[in-house]
Amino acid sequence: MNEEIDLAVRDPNGINDHIKTTTFQDVLAEPDGTHSIDCVWKFSHKCFECWKGLLYKILTLCFGICIAAEWGCEFAYIAFYHIWYITPLLKILEIECKTWQRVYSYCVNCCVTPCCEAFGTLFMAFKKE
C-alpha cells in the first residue's frame, strides 16, 4: 500500500486522453475572412487558458478530496460486494448447475438416446439405390 505517487505523470494509463486536446483552438476558431482585432484574439486566448486552469484548480481544491473519498468508498463497496456476495453466489450456481447438468445428462441418455438410436436403425434400412 506504500505506493509512491508520480506527480509528473498523473494519467499513466491514458484514461483521460480525450480531454488533453481541449485547447483554445479546439473551442474557438475564426475562419478566414472573419477575424477580430489581433489584441482581442491574443487576450481571449490568455483569458481562456488562465480561467480554464484557475477554475480547474479552484474546483479540485474545493471538491477534489471529497469526490476522491466518495469514489474510494464506492470502489471499496464494489470490492466488498464482489468478494462477499457475487463470487460466493457464482460458486453456488456453479455447484448447483453441475448437479443439474448431470441429472439432465442421465435423462437424455436414458430417454432420448435410445429413441434416436432406434430411429437411426430404422432409417438405415432405407437405402438409396
Query: In angstroms, what CA-CA distances link 60 with 9, 67, 122?
Result: 17, 9, 79
**pLDDT at residue 2 greater than cutoff 90:** no
**pLDDT at residue 25 greater than cutoff 90:** no
Is there a domain that residue 29 lies in? Answer: no
**pLDDT at residue 48 greater than cutoff 90:** yes
| pLDDT band with cut points at 50, 70 and 90 for residue 56 | very high
Task: Assess contact for 28 and 44: CB atoms under 8 A.
Answer: yes
**pLDDT at residue 111 greater than cutoff 70:** yes
Is there a domain that residue 11 lies in? Answer: no
Query: In angstroms, what CA-CA distances link 114 with 21, 39, 107, 125?
Result: 68, 91, 11, 17
Task: Assess contact for 48 and 24: CB atoms under 8 A.
Answer: yes
Highest mean pLDDT among 9-13, 17-21, 83-87: 83-87
pTM: 0.60
Domain that holds residue 98: 36-124
Counting the structural domains of the chain, the total is 1
Is there a domain that residue 56 lies in? Answer: yes
Is there a domain that residue 12 lies in? Answer: no
Task: Assess contact for 36 and 30: CB atoms under 8 A.
Answer: yes
**pLDDT at residue 45 greater than cutoff 90:** yes
Is there a domain that residue 106 lies in? Answer: yes
The distance in angstroms from the start CA to the end CA of the chain is: 78
**Three-class secondary structure of residue 52 per DSSP:** helix
Is there a domain that residue 23 lies in? Answer: no
Measured between alpha carbons, how far is 52 from 23 in angstroms, rounded to an integer? 9
Is there a domain that residue 17 lies in? Answer: no
Is there a domain that residue 67 lies in? Answer: yes
